[in-house]
Amino acid sequence: MAIVVDLRNKLGLGERPRIIVADGVELEVDNSAPTVLQVIDALRGEMTNERMLGIFDLFFGEDAHRKMDELGTSIPAYTAIVEAAIGTVMGEGDSSPKEMQTPDTTS
């Protein structure tokens, strides 16, 4: 008899994680494989503000970007949101933003 593995309840197909960023403001994360692969490519190399905002747009879209701009969102806030999105799509249990480490340039 052939072995059958049923993953329907484990894959979460069609389900997208959401990140609450403010009272009444919830962002849906595009966790599709093509988007995640684009994000992984974008994470290579030096992280600039422009690149961070591009990753935000990949995950959430330009409409969410405009909404966040209307709220006066800072770059550190965008960074925290992107870090949380990365955590959710990579399957990390705790997707809360981590403090960014400053590289040691003294050595």
- The residue extents of the domains of the chain are 18-89
Instruction: Give the model confidence (pLDDT) of 6-21 as tens digits.
Output: 887 777 677 889 999 9
The pLDDT of residue 8:
77
Amino acid at the residue 95: S
pTM of the predicted model as reported, rounded to 2 decimal places: 0.75
For residue 90, pLDDT beyond 60: yes
Instruction: Give the model confidence (pLDDT) of 18-52 as tens digits.
Output: 999 988 899 999 999 999 999 999 999 898 989 99
- Residue 31: which of 47, 13, 4 has the closest Cα? 13
Return d(Cα 16, Cα 29) in angstroms, integer: 6
Return d(Cα 20, Cα 84) in angstroms, integer: 10
